[in-house]
Structure 1
């Protein structure tokens, strides 16, 4: 069941290609293969991108460890997708808005990493509250359900005369949902300033890419709705950056006759399980995983930066130490948070039902009578 890893593309312009002509800047070894597309980024930005990619990987490892220890709820791993998440986020303007599905933790980490984000994964809805402060939509774990909302938000921004662009992340499995098609059709008809960012990690839980669609690419689906689709090597942060930068500019400042939306298909691979509740060994083999790991986005980018003289072992060690301190502090603060059991009743309905109010009153009575600790021990 092993599928071929896509070949690298040449140095043709971002928009001057078919949906199946994949944009790449770096090869698997970190060598520049498309000099014309290499973004002109300064040393500070390049090293910062690398640091955030390492933070993503370390965050992923730490969250999975916490989940296995019963200190975190079900978690969706991002390993293998750091290049697309960091590359796309860095290409946006500060006032652009990001809507994501549930795996794109890099969008949060690279925009300041509010420690409260961990609270959501620990079961506290309040963990969502910090995300709008960094220009990220509150997390809503669904398959494609957020796409029409993101389009509506972007359209409202356009009507209000705002300059910002909305980028919405989703997995390729979402293209099998009606929400995707409705959102894409609306965006195309009304020239909405949005970037549809499809993270094609080859697996929609246990369903392989070839069973998701008969289309040659997911990027090609955009053509049906009147706008362009571009396929990019999602494990190449420079390629992802330059493509996102180009489509973001088109959305913000469209030329005459050009539709504002664009769909980007980031071709990549999910190294780990769909979530910590999933066992990928049931539906895929190790040979396929190892084949894609040869294109590890962090190793590729590190090789590129070393070749340019921007990274050496000592600097990497310092980055790792700083990341460990950041994560340790975030975990300590999140685990020290004391939630209010009343919160369980706050987000079920817009207006609480009589039965919900009765349940809340009963819980309050038990807590007052027995105390929180005794109540929890009693179940």
Structure 2
């Protein structure tokens, strides 16, 4: 996983110290609509500290918030603990924090927040937008705890082994891609947000592991920004430049062919040996896993289909929502929460045309990986072919069994 178990234990210990004194919720009774009522027969919560989660049955929770009850309880408790500890942010009581959190989760899941949900949660509809902003800020602050890059040699080698097992490429510790979310810029800034697929977006840099856990999320910027520029200005790139992550690679697309520490496919015009062809096939197999990761994010969090109006110099709000969803993605992976609907793979953005100066720099990058390609793919063509056949067999079996929860295995891409 992208985060050690000790982190989860520490978070749970911390949050339960903060909320364990809350009164035990009273038992509520569900009606046919899935919304529970109290024993007095009213559909509203009393002023007592009754958990909002008890208003809904399990099916309704899954449909509304796209999480299981156990996972929702963990998320709500984490937010409660963080708000109660933050002396700079008014926390409110446990019931109001829970209502705010569930309102935000509904917004992430559907991209809008109807009055019937805020009413059921006992939340003023006029304050719902403010509640989403507050909860998004809290979840964004949790990024360092739930989105972590492997920091030790053993952790890096554990992640790298997963990539090598399915592709044969050694020392890869993550797949680098960008999440693009539709936005509506002002007319004067439309060109800044126009991406390579022809729509206006903000882009967020994401690195994921072989199981689809997010290891790094940063750099929310207009969708027309060059990927090379985004990578080189990111914090994780600076860490690689300082050799903080040892002699390891990030796997990326053709648009990053001259980027240091990024392993890109060998350009077709420079392929001289069969080993390079086999390497490119293995690279493509891993690279397509990013379709799966981005698809999972947009399937669970429909707010990531469109985040509305934006200004280039004020992307804090949209960056906060994306970061919150990424934190929740990793939590859902930890709790093995199935996707709410059938996964729709995200289309990858086309790589930009390589400029002449990039062609010249590409020679150095190619020479740096030639030895690795020859060693891993030069004399093991049969072994590599068998590995790819095994991967395809696994994919076929998964499809035949109708395993809709197999999103943790990226080979379905």
TM-score calculated relative to the size of structure 1: 0.26
TM-score calculated relative to the size of structure 2: 0.25
Tell which has more relative contact order, 1 or 2 (C-alpha 8 A, sep 6+).
1
